[in-house]
Amino acid sequence: MIIFGSILIICGLLLLGVSVYIAFGAVLLFLALTGGHDITGYLPAGYWKMNTLVLLAIPLFMIAGAIMEKGKIAAPLVALAELFIGHIKGGLSAAAVVASGIFGSISGSANATLTCIGGIMMPHLRKANYPEGLSAALIVSASPLGLLIPPSSSHILYAWVAQQSVLKAFLSTVIPGIILIILLIVTNQFALRKYKDIKVTDRPKDFVPEFKLQTRQAMPALFMPLIILGGIYGGIMTPTEAAGVAVVYSIPIAIYVYRGLTWRSLINTLSDAGITIGVVMTMIFMVLIVSRFLIFEDIPTIAREMVFSVSENPIVILLMVNLVMILIGMLMDDISGLLLSTPLLLPIVQSVGVDPIHFAAILGVNLGMANVTPPTAPLLYLGAQVTNTPVSKMLGPTFLFIFCAWLPTLAVTTFVPALSLWLPDLLLSR
């Protein structure tokens, strides 16, 4: 009963809009007051769990993402993508999806991807007579590519909690991310068929010189994922060192190359990032303590027994696990959902033969989809603010992208493990 009471408290407070770390803190207070649960024994465990060099990569990547978001680094990426497909009907919105994937590989953040790409692309899409609700929903649906295309802060946390290779966790979602990009573009093209007044940009007569110019302007931004991922996979840098390099590299690029920041505005950007980092790290600490409690109370074993009491069929079990992850992701952000889901669900999927790296991909796609799925959908409401589009106009198209792009991506990621394991095995085999 205490466990179910804790679940009700978390769900109830989150549905009321209470911050995640406060909701988990309330659960800890409830456990302390109900007796038989000495939460003080879990506090040192939470501290020592956070006292690790790997976790330092999270705030560093968040700082780099904030600098890139404010530094106008996304604009040349959008222009380069638009150069290739902007002259095709639907090409401008397809460019937004491609740019989201590229910028996601730089920022590692869905929120930063949505803010940057949405702020840049939505005025262009409106000017070209693209339907407002469909375009805003597409940008929102593409923003979790920041979680799927490496480097990703979420997968650093997953590898840390699950004691797996960070590099393999990064690579596990590359192919699912590419599949999602293709399905989003195809679904959007199908939905645009009935709109006859969409304008297209003229293809440059001198394509090669224009391509060289746009590539030269975008190159400093494109170099960043090459430096970070090349350094990590080449064995030159650890993920934490690569995050530090990302911060150092992004500052002069944002200030001197793209001129989106000044030294004074950089201080404000770092201050805002520091506030966000403080909230995230406090939240991680709270969720870690609750996760520690779940492990010590053997809740994963109880959950596994409950699942196997329903069915021992691996397909049915994976479907149930996916449903649980979607519900968790609908109630909280991706980091909290990951920290709660991993210790609870990883033992269950491992018992039916799922590789932990394969599960990293399943978890990433699930939480990304849940963050755009109503009724909570934090990215959907952020997207409404960024694109200045009413949520009511976005709901129908959002469900279209969920059913036609996200769910098929989740299905193939879940039931075709080779999609998640092939690239890590190919690049990191020794």
pLDDT digit string, tens, across residues 132-165 = 999 999 999 999 988 888 878 788 888 888 888 8
- pLDDT for the residue 2: 60
285 alpha-carbon distance from chain centroid: 20
User: 136: burial class by Cβ within 10 Å (0-12, 13-18, 19+)?
Assistant: buried
Decide: helix, strand or coil at residue 71: coil
pLDDT at 250 over 70: yes
DSSP state of 35: S
Task: Taking residues 325-336, report their average pLDDT.
Answer: 76
- pLDDT for the residue 137: 93
Q: Which alpha helices (H) appear in 260-406, and where do they start and end?
A: 263-296, 299-310, 314-331, 334-350, 356-370, 378-387, 391-401
pLDDT at 222 over 90: no
pLDDT at 1 over 70: no
User: 307: burial class by Cβ within 10 Å (0-12, 13-18, 19+)?
Assistant: buried
Q: Which pTM was predicted?
A: 0.84
pLDDT at 407 over 90: yes
In degrees and rounded to multiples of 5, residue 407 shows phi and psi of -65, -45
| CA dist., res. 218 & res. 58, Å (int) | 26
Mean pLDDT of the chain: 82
Q: What's the full length of the chain, in residues?
A: 430
Residues 364 and 172: beta-carbon distance below 8 Å: yes
Of all residues in the chain, what percent carry a pLDDT higher than 90? 18
Q: Using one digit for the tens of pLDDT, what is the confidence trace for 341-396?
A: 888 888 889 888 899 999 999 998 998 888 888 777 778 888 888 888 888 899 89
Decide: helix, strand or coil at residue 311: coil
| CA dist., res. 123 & res. 97, Å (int) | 15
